[in-house]
Chains A and B, each alone.
Chain A
């Protein structure tokens, strides 16, 4: 009964380092999403994938790249980390790209020094 699994749960990086956050879902969902959560700002969409083979920018895509590796997995990459990217990152999935509720992972807490 895993749902959406994110790895790692915590990470500390130095400015300029690169890193890939991993996300996998076992619910056979078509759509997947990456958000960042910052205090007082709620969650903001970074990138999403409406279906396997497609990705699109969200509200705050700068500094990030994504890969929809297959139907289960959707990764988020920081090529050159900056302190402004210190945040909690959440992956989510939904059955389809419409009004279906999104299911969230437990988050990755990322600190960039």
Chain B
């Protein structure tokens, strides 16, 4: 079984300041890792994912996350946030190897980011 811990439930940040959202996971098997974003009254959208290869992955809107296997972490960062980044962010994992029985995501509790002008 897997578990995901997002250490901060809320993160207030000023516009153009950097932000880091922390994610730690626990698993007895190797995992794939994801960050999803949820804007108010919407469903979740995939922000970025780590499957293999370079441990640093980037999104098209300036977010990046680094997989650290020894610390079982997948922290999300953005060097300069915008008002439009106000949302809830979820870290999620799913076990590898590939399984025919389903792609079952395990989510963290979420981190609300409030960007202030």
Contact = CB atoms under 8 A, between A and B. Distances in A.
Interface of A: 4, 31, 33, 40-45, 48, 50, 56, 58, 90, 92, 94, 96-107
Given A41-B109, A42-B107, A106-B41, A97 B102 contact: yes
A50 B104 CA distance: 10
B56 interface: no
A54 B34 CA distance: 25
Majority SS at the chain B contact face = loop
B68 interface: no
Given A99-B94, A104-B44, A40 B32 contact: no
Contact of A98 (B41, B103, B110): B103
On chain B, which size bracket covers the interface? 20 to 34
A98 B49 CA distance: 13
